[in-house]
Structure 1
Amino acid sequence: MIDMLALRIPFKDEFVTKRLEGNDLIAHIDLADIARLSGIALSAYTVEYAIDGDLTVSGLKHAYESLPTHYSGIALKVFEGGKNFYPCVEIKASPAKVLQGHNVFGPVDLELCGTELLGSLAVSLPALFDLVDVPSTTITRLDVTYSARVENDHIAKQVISFLRNISNGQTKKTRAQDWDTTVMWNENSRHRTLVAYLKFAELMNDLKKLRDTPSAKLGLAGQNRLKVMSNPDLHDFASGLVRFEARLKTRFLKSFGFPEKFVDAVNYQKSYVSDSGCVISDLWKKSFSELFKTFEGSDMNVYDDSKVYSALINAYSSVTASGKVSQAKANRCFGFYRRLLNEGYDNVSQTMERTTFWRNIQLLTDVGLSKAQLMNLTAENNVIPLMRIINVDFSNQFPVWYQEPQSRLYA
């Protein structure tokens, strides 16, 4: 799916002042004139107020603002230009969220995604839209996303933990990450950034934020999004999804042969021929190819201990004095269980303080595990080739009830 699209629409020539300095093109607009013509609001770096009442404003700029849609906002910013940077309007958003209210799955149709963003600009700010050269719109970022499905979110977390230690060639893991559900590679690259994360965890976090927002602040778009994201069928499909996202920038797209101009890219997609027949999936495959080579021959220990973990959470969660639910005791006990699984009952009993060992054994037996089970835990049969776990099925990226969204602007 197309999970993020950033477009830059240059201003028409009559609003641009240009000059050459050597081999460099200097181009800029008068922001104050653009604001008067379009109605956009500007801010200033410096405001001076004299005693006689004169007000001097300098360093005008346009901050990012949000264009409203039925479900989700579209980020917009006016750039006044500069050295080898043509003045333009930038719009960017998740087309899936704009079109359908969520991005668990979504369209790969670039024309649908791009025209929805451009159409929203035309509807929201028609005066500004008249000032820009729409046919010359360029693509500056394209996020393409596909998912692998594992048995449940418990195993999905193990996959993320394993991926956190993987890198290859020019694909380097981003340092200083301690998120349980996300791992990132090449965060500051000018070519591409790769991300793997748990979709269900992200969906539930976004849903909680919406539910915690007072209805007065939520607005109509927020209410529409809340309704869509509360769908239990959507939750079921998101459960167990490990999302692999490639954030592709201009240099990477050019290396693929993907046109920079939006209208050319749309035609390129329509006429694209390959074994897959889908340029979006082929862009994704190329972006992850280097990283996925490291998966070949790699094995991973997989434990489906979700029932044990759930039993411990139910038995040993507590409420703190501040009213928050604490799962610390359950998590410590589950860590002990994992140690038994990896090191064996005898090794753990010989290396752990005796009272602590037997206290943890008692906690496990109190939730229904027998001592015989604990003495015979083994991880040997859980070693699975990583490529079997991370299997991206391109024919199974949508639920059976999915229908590609239609534009609300051109219906």
Structure 2
Amino acid sequence: MLDKIVMYIPVDASLVDIDGEGRYCIFGFDLLDLDLKKVGSWDVYKDEEGNTQHRVLNHGYERLPTSFTSMAFKFYHEGKTFPYVELKASPAKILQGHNVYGTDWIEQGAMEMLGYLAESHPTLYGMLAIGETEVKQLDATYSARLKDDDQVSQAIDFLRNVSSRHIRKSTSEVIHKNTHYYGSERSKRFARKVYGKACEFHDQLNKQIQLAKFNDKCAERVVKVMLDPELQAHVKGLLRFETGIKAYVMKELNIPTNLFQLIRYQRLNPNFLRDLWIKANAELFKALEGTAMKALDHDAIFKNLSNIFQTVTPTGQVRFTKARNLFNFYCALETHGVDIMKKRYGRSQFFSNMADLISAGYSKAYLQNLHIDSKNNVIPFLKLVEINFDEQLPPNFIEPISTFNKRELRVA
């Protein structure tokens, strides 16, 4: 799936000049005339008459509305680089309201991005050399289907310890959101991460629900899409491998970065995005060959303990403190075994915890052999985490079409 497009659209060269300091600027141009929402200044002062004046205006990132989620937008109008507009968005999100799954095709998402820029800022759009639009990054994402989200978390914990010659573990971690990064996002070729989709999905849904409460019509449409029962079911157990493919590596491989040339290139090479993703992650999957991971069902264990040992305070609040403590004991017992846990907890606390677990339905023999059984409960990692390219989309998936293509509006 194509999960993000980053594109730079230069200002028409006929409008650009170079000042005495070698900086690019635009003829007869005032940033304040473009109806931009986030214009600021690095230099604000009062003149001799006490009037507020400004110099060195700049444009901060805005979020342009679309049919669904917004699109990031920034205008670099002067400086040492040629003036351009930066657009970045998830084509899947702006076309269909979610990115649980989606198309690999660039054209429709790119047309949607350009169309909404033209519609929201027609004067600025008229200043741009649309035909010279450059693609700076494409994010390609493919998923493995695991048993449940608990197993996804286990797989990510396993992957945190994997590195190879060219794929290093990142110092950036988002453990509470089930995300692990490899290397740096500033890498000139690839930016890689692996994450659990369900966690990200529900985080995004909660944010959209909050926006919808303030009468945000786009958010209301997104919430309606994301609450679909089939979509909610599809997201469970998805382990995502996302790779940002930079323009640098595309040029190395003689793949055009001009947007319209790239669209034509993809028509002739429909699997090029998948092929680049495979190339970017080949070394990571090679490092995983021969490794195995325990297949544990911690989620079911914790739910069972929570149902049995939850307590309710006088004010009606539900507490899970005892359930959490027993779950931690269970996990430690699984890792270290009975003998070590007796020493660590002391006989009294150890047997009290064992009695509680037995009362929750786990036999004494099962608990005594938990450490031994868990060593044998392993699955070859690449068998567990299988990327099946033929099953990335549901059977009823329909390729999305840009709003602007539907309305037969020209954006280039």
Tell me the alpha carbon deviations over residues 163-200 of structure 1, each in whole angstroms, 9 at most, x when there is no partner: 11111112111115251411001123232211100001
Secondary structure, aligned partner of 2:60: coil
Secondary structure, aligned partner of 2:123: helix
Q: Please name the residue that 1:199 is paired with.
A: 197
In structure 2, which of residues 291, 299, 323 is the aligned counterpart of residue 298 of structure 1?
291
1:239 aligns with 2:232: no
Secondary structure, aligned partner of 1:170: coil
Q: Please name the residue that 1:332 is paired with.
A: 325
Q: Please name the residue that 1:132 is paired with.
A: 128
CA distance in 2 between partners of 1:61 and 1:127 (Å): 18
CA distance in 1 between partners of 2:302 and 2:32 (Å): 58
**Cα pair distance change 1:359/1:169, threshold 3 Å:** same
1:374 aligns with 2:370: no
Tell me the alpha carbon deviations over residues 60-80 of structure 1, each in whole angstroms, 9 at most, x when there is no partner: 001111211110111111002
In structure 2, which of residues 245, 264, 267 is the aligned counterpart of residue 270 of structure 1?
267
Q: Please name the residue that 2:380 is paired with.
A: 385
In structure 1, which of residues 308, 314, 329 is the aligned counterpart of residue 301 of structure 2?
308
CA distance in 1 between partners of 2:49 and 2:291 (Å): 75
- State the shift of 1:322 in Å: 9.2
Q: Please name the residue that 1:405 is paired with.
A: 400
**Cα pair distance change 1:8/1:321, threshold 3 Å:** farther
Secondary structure, aligned partner of 1:205: helix
Tell me the alpha carbon deviations over residues 257-316 of structure 1, each in whole angstroms, 9 at most, x when there is no partner: 3211111111111112xxxx5111111111111211110111111212432221012223
1:104 aligns with 2:100: yes
**Higher mean C-alpha deviation, range 139-148 or range 344-353:** 344-353
In structure 2, which of residues 346, 350, 354 is the aligned counterpart of residue 353 of structure 1?
346
Secondary structure, aligned partner of 2:306: helix
- State the shift of 1:214 in Å: 5.9
Q: Structure 1 vs Structure 2: percent identity of aligned residues? A: 33
Gaps of 5+ in 2: 407-412
Secondary structure, aligned partner of 1:236: helix
User: How big is the alpha-carbon RMSD for the aligned residues of Structure 1 and Structure 2?
Assistant: 2.3
CA distance in 2 between partners of 1:63 and 1:201 (Å): 30
- Please tell me whether the aligned partners of residues 211 and 219 of structure 2 are also in contact (alpha carbons under 8 angstroms): no
Gaps of 5+ in 1: none
- State the shift of 1:107 in Å: 1.2
Q: Please name the residue that 1:10 is paired with.
A: 10
**Cα pair distance change 1:55/1:339, threshold 3 Å:** closer
Secondary structure, aligned partner of 2:188: coil
1:63 aligns with 2:56: no
**Cα pair distance change 1:64/1:351, threshold 3 Å:** closer
CA distance in 1 between partners of 2:197 and 2:315 (Å): 30
Q: TM-score, normalised by structure 2?
A: 0.91
In structure 2, which of residues 275, 295, 303 is the aligned counterpart of residue 282 of structure 1?
275
- Please tell me whether the aligned partners of residues 31 and 60 of structure 1 are also in contact (alpha carbons under 8 angstroms): no
Name the amino acid aligned to 1:59. Answer: V
CA distance in 2 between partners of 1:167 and 1:47 (Å): 49
CA distance in 2 between partners of 1:252 and 1:324 (Å): 54
Secondary structure, aligned partner of 2:390: coil
Secondary structure, aligned partner of 2:391: coil
Q: Please name the residue that 1:142 is paired with.
A: 138
CA distance in 2 between partners of 1:239 and 1:321 (Å): 35
- Please tell me whether the aligned partners of residues 31 and 80 of structure 1 are also in contact (alpha carbons under 8 angstroms): no
- State the shift of 1:321 in Å: 9.0
Q: Please name the residue that 1:363 is paired with.
A: 356
- State the shift of 1:129 in Å: 0.8
- Please tell me whether the aligned partners of residues 44 and 61 of structure 1 are also in contact (alpha carbons under 8 angstroms): yes
1:248 aligns with 2:245: yes
Tell me the alpha carbon deviations over residues 307-334 of structure 1, each in whole angstroms, 9 at most, x when there is no partner: 2221012223456799875544323322
- State the shift of 1:26 in Å: 4.9
How do residues 190-229 of structure 1 correspond to structure 2 at under 5 angstroms?
A: 190-213=188-211, 215=213, 217-229=214-226
**Cα pair distance change 1:59/1:332, threshold 3 Å:** same
Q: Please name the residue that 1:47 is paired with.
A: 44
CA distance in 1 between partners of 2:250 and 2:215 (Å): 37
Number of residue pairs aligned between Structure 1 and Structure 2: 401
Q: TM-score, normalised by structure 1?
A: 0.91
In structure 1, which of residues 75, 78, 86 is the aligned counterpart of residue 75 of structure 2?
78
Secondary structure, aligned partner of 1:56: strand
**Higher mean C-alpha deviation, range 107-116 or range 323-332:** 323-332
**Cα pair distance change 1:268/1:320, threshold 3 Å:** farther
